[in-house]
Structure 1
Amino acid sequence: MCHEHLHISSESLRLTPDPCSFHAAKVNVPITMENLGWIRQYPYYHEKNLNNTDEVDAVIDELKYYKENGGSAMVDNTVTGLEPNVPLLKKLSEETGVHIISGTGFYVDATHSDETRESSVEQLASKMQDDILIGVDGSGVKCGVIGELGCSWPLTESEKKVLQAAAIVQKNTGCPIIIHPGRSPAAPEEILRIIQESGAKADQIVISHLDRTLLDKESLLEFAALGSYCEFDLFGIETSHYQHHEKIDMPSDAQRIERIKWLLDDGHQDRVTVAHDLHTKHRLMKYGGHGFSHILQTIVPMMKTRNVSQEDIEKILIHNPRTWLTFK
């Protein structure tokens, strides 16, 4: 799983409902069976839903279950702005036997501190490079990926500096990069252009969230031709209502598989990665959610019934993540 969050505060994603709407009275209600349907429709209104930092025991149980179902590794994309806790990730890995790869970097501009915005490209690069080569904040735990690097639409100057810094770090270390694009079909290509102009290599970059960004076949295949990894990482979200972009419909898991097949049929077997981007309480199994094992338990069998070959499944789940995560 190339894009998950084991310990995260997603407060930056919170939306505030109209105080005159019936939603306003629900933002702090407990997560129960009676209101779970509402939370699934409006996950970014509910305050406690956007913070899983108090769910360590539930995450440990999930990782053990993931291991039992064949999962061996997971990339945690929780970077500055989302309350990362790298020492905890080390503990989770040791307790569950799941190999966890931690990301370094900065989320979207809305979460940038004054210090981040005022830093030079070289200063931002130095911070990320130290996290990779020395370890995070004296913990001795070294990051194995740059990102998820948060990008808004349109890109801000601070976000552009982070992309340029990441390119420098990749040139110096060979570290892979993963990027959260803005919510526009134009965002993935623009980001890839900017970061490549700074020296990064497309074949070491994952562009995330394409399932909510590139919605038609022509756009997806045109982007895939640029050479980055194309990630479908919102598996398990079966609610078409997408709060952060209500003019589009979130695709279903069946549609995600269909779009992956577009890539496979066009010869891009070596450039597809998948995940759940699980970052809210309601998607944990403890709260009736699909959990981190959903792809292994449910999506792989669905792929087989839709004529995705075992060879291509193994490329998506094993070969492609391994190749991307290898320092070059």
Structure 2
Amino acid sequence: MSAVRTVLGDVPGGELGVCDAHDHLFFASPRLPGEELRDAAAARAELAAFREQGGGTVVQWTPYGLGRRAADLPALSRETGVHVVAATGLHQDVHYDQDTLAALRGRAADVFVAELTRGIGTSGVRAGLIKVAGGFHALDAHARWTMSAAAEAHHATGAPIAVHLELGTGALDVLELLCGGAGVPPDRVILGHLNRSPDPVTHRQSAGSGCWLAFDGPSRGNHATDWRMPDAVRDLAEAGFGDRLLLGGDTTAASARSVDGGPGMPYLLRRVAPRLALAVGDELVRRVLTENPARAFAVDWH
């Protein structure tokens, strides 16, 4: 039986409720000095604010080595009543020191599988997806290595693979590597940040493969995406791909949290969803926030 692997255990996809399909409760990278998400109290407040807007699930895409704080996630989920899904995987190499990457050479897939099946570190919290990342219009050696490891871990567990597309680019190269070369079923691949490169042809080609398309990051003020995203979603819906779409917030900086004066997780439901409904209707928005993630993150675990 398929289930979504949350930090409190496996649950049927239908129990997720309204889902923020890509966000971060904890995240720390040398690329964002001074903006680390490390405060558990702020994470709790952010989840509570999301819950007040009708939110039911947050999928945290924070991968290995970037401050996931997996041991803190179960209590936050219980206290706020919001399901939380954790991730394994690796981000771009610029987020890590070379010693960390060297220690994973030849064993990344094994680490991913262990975190999906046994737990992250000593926390006992099992990851529910694998997060990897591409580069700007290209896949470098690091991306190819981590995606190959992710594909191996997928074949061992069934876990979905979520992909950070740098500025929304490289979608077709990712699909060629994961699905064409590594044999990952397209419906187990989630492409993130497509709103950052509003190319309708690439969007439709990607959706046509059967993968999931995530439109996320409305908090990013340096990407003119909020006003373009409804048109991109409408184009895909009119082409028959409304059942392949996901929405997320991708809050990666402390200043972007609603409890610190930014839009944060509640903004997805407070402003983005109503704006999108004007373009595609309330019913499609409901399905994108509930039915689609229930299928995208549910796995026949093995």
TM-score grouping bracket, smaller chain normalisation:
0.7 to 0.9
Within a 5 Å distance, the mapping from 1:44-55 to structure 2 comes to: 47-48=33-34, 50-53=35-38, 55=39
Partner of residue 120, structure 2: 136
Partner of residue 178, structure 2: 195
Partner of residue 2, structure 1: 21
Within a 5 Å distance, the mapping from 1:1-328 to structure 2 comes to: 1-12=20-31, 14=32, 47-48=33-34, 50-53=35-38, 55-112=39-96, 113-114=98-99, 116-117=101-102, 119-120=104-105, 123-147=107-131, 149-153=132-136, 154-183=138-167, 185=169, 187-196=170-179, 197-212=181-196, 214-237=197-220, 239=221, 242=222, 250-306=223-279, 308-328=280-300
Contact 1:109 1:150 in 2 (8 A): no
Q: RMSD of the alignment, in Å?
A: 1.8
Shift of 1:260: 0.9
CA distance in 1, matches of 2:45, 2:74: 15
**Residue identity (%):** 25
Instruction: Name the TM-score, length of structure 1 as normaliser.
Output: 0.80
Contact 1:211 1:251 in 2 (8 A): no
Shift of 1:63: 0.9
Which structure has greater strand proportion? 2
- What code does the residue aligned with 1:200 have? V
Contact 2:30 2:95 in 1 (8 A): no
Secondary structure at 1:253 match in 2: coil
Task: Provide Cα deviations, 1:12-35, integer angstroms capped at 9, x if missing partner.
Answer: 2x4xxxxxxxxxxxxxxxxxxxxx
CA distance in 1, matches of 2:123, 2:30: 25
**Taking structure 1 as reference, are residues 81 and 159 closer, same or farther at Cα in structure 2, changes over 3 Å only?**
farther
Structure scoring higher RCO (CA < 8 A, sep ≥ 6) equals: 2
Shift of 1:156: 2.6
Shift of 1:251: 2.3
Secondary structure at 1:73 match in 2: strand
Which has more radius of gyration?
A: 1
Shift of 1:179: 0.6
Partner of residue 11, structure 2: none
- What code does the residue aligned with 1:304 have? A
Contact 2:168 2:195 in 1 (8 A): no
CA distance in 2, matches of 1:116, 1:127: 12
Matched positions, count:
278
Contact 1:120 1:161 in 2 (8 A): no
What stretches of structure 1 of length at least 5 have no aligned partner? 15-46, 243-249
Secondary structure at 1:254 match in 2: coil
Partner of residue 10, structure 2: none
What stretches of structure 2 of length at least 5 have no aligned partner? 1-19
Query: More deviation in 130-139 or 108-117?
Result: 108-117
Task: Provide Cα deviations, 1:170-203, integer angstroms capped at 9, x if missing partner.
Answer: 1121111101123473x11111111121121111
Contact 2:171 2:202 in 1 (8 A): no
Shift of 1:318: 0.6
Contact 1:10 1:280 in 2 (8 A): no
Shift of 1:265: 0.9
Contact 1:104 1:131 in 2 (8 A): yes
CA distance in 1, matches of 2:125, 2:104: 24
- What code does the residue aligned with 1:135 have? G
